Structure 1
Amino acid sequence: MSRESVPVSPVLALAVAVLAVSTSAILVRFSDAPSSVKAFYRVLFTLALVAPLAATRSRAGVARLSRRDLLGAGVAGVALALHFGAWFESLEWTSVAASVTLVQAQPVFVAVGAAFLLDERVTGRAVAGILVALAGMALMAGADLLGAATTGARPLYGNALAVGAAVMTAVYVLAGRSIRRRVPLLPYVTVVYGVCTFVLLAVVVASAGADALWPYPPREWLLFVAMAAGPGLFGHTVVNWALGHVESSVVSVSLLAEPVGSTLLALALLAEVPGALTVLGGVVVLCGIGVTAAERR
C-alpha cells in the first residue's frame, strides 16, 4: 500500500467521498427521466470531467495501456454499465433504504468470486460475514413477500435489481483489481467510463429510441451534472484514489455509511419511511458486509 506524502488527507477525502455517494439515490429519485437515460448522462458527464484531467495530468496516458489492460478495463466498463442500469431501475421500484443497502453488498460477491475464480482463500470469519449478509437479504425479501415493505411499487423486483447491480459491481472490482496495480487512476477510469458510456447509450437507443436522449428541461440537466460531479467525480473517483493510500478494508467498511446517509436523506427530502423489517434486514446485511470487508485486506 502506498504511503507517500499526499497533499490531501486520504481519510478526509474518503469522508467527502462517502458524503458524495450518499446523495446518489436522492438525485436519481429527483429526476423524472427514464432510468437508462439518467445512467447514461451521469457516466457521460463524469467522463467529460475526468478525460481532460487524464489527458493533462497523466503522462502514461490511455494510449500506453497494453491490450490486456484495455480488455480488462473494457470488461470493467461493461460491468459498470450493467450496474448503473440495474441500480437506477431498482430505485424506481423499491425504497432508497433497501436499494442502497443491497447494492452495497458487493464485498460479499467479490469474496465469493475471488474464491471461485481466483482460488483465493476465504477465512472462516469472511464466510460467516457472507452468510450473515445473505440472511439479511432473505429477511428483506421476506418483508416484501409479507407485504411489510412500506415503500415501492414492486419492492421484491426492485431489491432483486439492486442485488444484480451489486453482482455487477463485484465483476467490475475483480476485472479492474490487477490493472489498478499497474495503471494510474485517470487513464484507467477514462477507459472504463468510455466503455460504460457507449454501452449505456446502446441500451437507451435499443430500449427507448434516440428520441429519449432529449429534450429535457434545465432542471433535469442540472440533476445529470450533479450526479456526475457529486457521486461520480467526488464520490467513486475519489474512492478509487483513496484505495492507493489506505487499506482496502477501511475503504469498504467506510462505504457502509452510504446506506445510512441515503436513508436519512430519503427520510428528510422524500418523506420515505422504510418498514421495520426492511430496516432490520438492512442492519443485518450491513453487519455481514462489514465482517466480510474487514477480513479481505
Structure 2
Amino acid sequence: MASPKINPYFVLLIGVFSVSTSAILVKVSSADAGVIAFYRLLFTVLLMAPLFLWKNVGELKDISKKDWILSFVSGTFLAFHFILWFESLNYTSVTSSTVLVTLQPLFAFAGTYFIFKEKFSAGALTGGAVAVAGSIIISWGDFKISGQAFFGDMLALLACALITGYLLFGQTIRQRVSLMTYTFIVYLNSTMVLFFYVLIKDVPFGPYPIEEWVYFLLLAIISNLLGHTLFNWSLKYVSTSVISMAILLEPVGASWLAYWLLEEKIIQTQIVGGGVVLFGIMLFVADPARLKEHFQKRSADS
C-alpha cells in the first residue's frame, strides 16, 4: 500500500469538523427526516456527477458483482443511518444525539475483530470501554429528564450501529475501488433507497421555503463532500476503528455550535459524559501499541 501524500489523521480532523455541522442544519430544518436525508444525498450525487462522468465512469465495468452488492448494502445502511439519526434530533438534544451516534467503537471493535481479524491491545480496549461509559452517563441523564429524550438517544444509538456497518463494508470495497467511484455508487444507492422510503411513507418531496433548500445544499456540500467523503478516503489508509474513534470528536463541535447558534442548554450529565468520552478517545489514540504499529506501517510503505 502506497503511503498517502497527506497525513490521513489530518484529513480525518477536517472530516470531523465538517460533519459537526450536520446536527445543527438538521435541527433547524422543519422537513421530515427522510426528506432531509434524501435531498442531502441527491444534491451530493448531482454535485459529484460531472467529475465522475468525466474521469471515473470507465471504472464501472471493472467492478465485481460482489462489490456491487456490498456497495448497495453499504448505501442502504447509510440511508437508514441518516433517517434514524435525523429523527433522533426531534426527541433529544444535539449534544446527546451526536455523542451517541458517533459511538461507533462499540460496534467497530467487534466488527474489525471478527471481519478483519484486527487485534486490540489492553490500552485500546480500555479507551473504548471508557468512551462507552461516557455515553451511558449521557443516556442516563436524558432518561431522568424524559422518556422522549431517552427514545431519541436509542434512535441515535441504532443510527450509530448502521454507520459502523457502512464503514466496515467500505473498508472492504475501498481496497479495490477508487474513492470517487465507490463514493458515487454508494451515495447513488443511498439516494434511491431514500427516494422509495419517502415515497412509501407518503411524505411530500416539496415545495419547501428557500431556507430549507439552503439547509439541504449545505448538508450536501459541507457534511457529505467535506465530511463523509474524507472518511471514505481515509478508509484506504487507516482502520474503521480509528475513524470511529476520531468521529467521537464530532459532539464537541456540534455541542459548541448548538450552544451558540441554537441556545441549547448543556446539562451536567452531558458535560461529564462528554468529558469521559473524550478521555476514552485520548486513551485509544495515545495507546503505545497502536502508535508503534502505525509508525512501523508508515516506515514499511515509504
Q: What interval of TM-score do these two structures reach, taking the shorter chain for normalisation?
A: 0.7 to 0.9
- 1:64 counterpart residue number: 62
Q: CA deviation at 1:63?
A: 3.1
Q: Provide the secondary structure at the position in 2 that maps to 1:231.
A: helix
1:160 equivalent to 2:154? Answer: yes
- 2:300 counterpart residue number: none
TM-score by length of structure 2 reads: 0.86
**Greater Cα offset, 48-57 or 214-223:** 48-57
Match for 1:48: what amino acid?
A: L
Query: Which structure 2 residues correspond to residues 124-143 of structure 1 after superposition, within 5 A?
Result: 124-143=122-141
Q: CA deviation at 1:2?
A: 3.2
1:171 equivalent to 2:169? Answer: no
Q: Provide the secondary structure at the position in 2 that maps to 1:122.
A: coil
Determine which of 230, 235, 239 is the counterpart of 1:238. Answer: 230
Over residues 135-160 of structure 1, what are the superposed CA-to-partner deviations in whole Å (9 max), with x where a residue is unaligned?
2222122112322x8xxx82101111
- 1:52 counterpart residue number: 50
**Cα 1:15/1:177, change in 2 over 3 Å:** closer
- 2:219 counterpart residue number: 227
- 1:282 counterpart residue number: 274
Structure 1: distance between partners of 2:173 and 2:270 = 37
In the comparison of the two structures, how many residue pairs are matched?
A: 289
Contact 2:174–2:236 at 8 Å: present in 1 too? no
**Cα 1:291/1:103, change in 2 over 3 Å:** farther
1:268 equivalent to 2:266? Answer: no
Q: CA deviation at 1:241?
A: 2.4
Q: CA deviation at 1:51?
A: 2.6
Q: CA deviation at 1:61?
A: 2.3
1:217 equivalent to 2:200? Answer: no
Match for 2:182: what amino acid?
A: Y
Structure 1: distance between partners of 2:240 and 2:155 = 26
Q: Provide the secondary structure at the position in 1 that maps to 2:204.
A: helix
Q: CA deviation at 1:65?
A: 0.9
Contact 1:81–1:196 at 8 Å: present in 2 too? yes
Contact 1:76–1:171 at 8 Å: present in 2 too? yes
**Cα 1:177/1:132, change in 2 over 3 Å:** same
Over residues 115-151 of structure 1, what are the superposed CA-to-partner deviations in whole Å (9 max), with x where a residue is unaligned?
345544333223323322332222122112322x8xx
Contact 1:144–1:155 at 8 Å: present in 2 too? yes
Structure 2: distance between partners of 1:142 and 1:167 = 19
Determine which of 97, 102, 107 is the counterpart of 1:109. Answer: 107
Match for 2:223: what amino acid?
A: P
CA RMSD of aligned residues (A): 2.5
Query: Unaligned regions of 5+ residues in structure 2, if any?
Result: 295-302
- 1:3 counterpart residue number: 3
**Cα 1:15/1:171, change in 2 over 3 Å:** closer
Over residues 96-118 of structure 1, what are the superposed CA-to-partner deviations in whole Å (9 max), with x where a residue is unaligned?
11111111111331111223455
1:197 equivalent to 2:195? Answer: no
Q: Provide the secondary structure at the position in 1 that maps to 2:31.
A: coil
**Greater Cα offset, 216-225 or 14-23:** 14-23
TM-score by length of structure 1 reads: 0.87
Q: Provide the secondary structure at the position in 2 that maps to 1:2.
A: coil
**Greater Cα offset, 235-244 or 25-34:** 235-244
**Cα 1:205/1:286, change in 2 over 3 Å:** farther
Over residues 229-274 of structure 1, what are the superposed CA-to-partner deviations in whole Å (9 max), with x where a residue is unaligned?
1101111112322444678776555433321111110000000012
Structure 1: distance between partners of 2:81 and 2:193 = 11
1:144 equivalent to 2:138? Answer: no
**Greater Cα offset, 153-162 or 262-271:** 153-162
Contact 2:14–2:227 at 8 Å: present in 1 too? yes
Query: Unaligned regions of 5+ residues in structure 1, if any?
Result: none
